[in-house]
Structure 1
Amino acid sequence: MALGKTSARYGEQVPTPHYGQPRYRVIADELRKRIESGTIPPGALLPAESVLTAEFRVARGTIRKALAALREEGHVATEHGRGTYATRQTPKPTDDSGIRQREIPADAHLATLFKVEVGTAIIERETVIRREEQVDKVIRSYHLHNAPLRHQ
């Protein structure tokens, strides 16, 4: 499809194929920037899918793919009946303590173990144990986030 081609059916310009990143990735990048900058603070609900489809002028499926990518990265979690919200992000420590903690949505395996719904917020803690500057072990532990996230 050529740039600026007019649609006989709709009478407006038809978007050209996107060369480069898929559209859902561009949207995920924009939402990630909003989360990381604090524009969407931890615990805050993201706009509804219908609002995002209007803002980005894309189909609902494209928005859902963008949100799925952000869920996989741990930037958002979705709770049935509540919606999709930004998770708490804990930056990697600047010292050499080797501990990193972040909130992630439970995948199918963790949801089964904890007996919760997929997507429920849980805390992942990663500890790196070094022996003479060499990594000896990496330990990941998980626990439920006891209190529901609130707007801050």
Structure 2
Amino acid sequence: MVVMSSEEYAPPKYAQIVQTIRRKIADGTYPPGSLLPSETQLVREFGVSRPTVVRALQVLQLRGVIEREHGKGSFVKAAPPVTQEANTRPGRAVLDRVESDENGSVIDAGTVIADASAAKLLDVPEGSPVVRRRILFHDAERPADLVTLWCPANVAEGTQLALTEPLAVGIRQHLQAAKGLKLQHVVERLSARHPSADEARALEVPKSSAVLGVLASIFNGGGRPVLVVDLVLPGDLHELEDAYSL
């Protein structure tokens, strides 16, 4: 039997920051309403890169633990909720991630012809033009997750989804600002699998490794699918956490 060291089980650095800050909130080090240390202070405290700190803060924000105010900093919420299960869902979280803040690089973006799978998910005829956007996010040490986004060409028209520059706001905010489009709900499917050859190359993992695949269909208020997000997470870097009332 091979004995693994505790270091080999250590979570990624952004997750360690999340755990530490939540622990300090719980023990009163950071009481409700208090201002967390600045990003620069957290970079120095944890010895990590700024994108790693930003990612940790965004995770805390998505989980409803803190509020982030531009130009002011991050504040502990007065009553951190434990029942907002939607905030922990990976499909929803992708819509609010800021590519330029999270060390995201756009692998490719542009108009392609929808194959049968993409056409079915978007409810458009096979062969229709769709915009595909692929973004690779890194933590301080390695690729952390791969996001592929499909959007009907008419929905993407007038947006920056087909451009190769990282977005400076989340996809949901960008679509609302550019098109007045409000995303209403998400249908999410999770699967444990091996990566494809392209995914293994992008994520720098062996083809025999385990990844978590999240396929999310995002609908507008009229019940039409307007986005499909395919999120690939290396199994050794990620775990999913959820909280909900009974």
TM-score, normalised with respect to structure 1 = 0.47
Q: Highest CA radius of gyration, 1 or 2?
A: 1
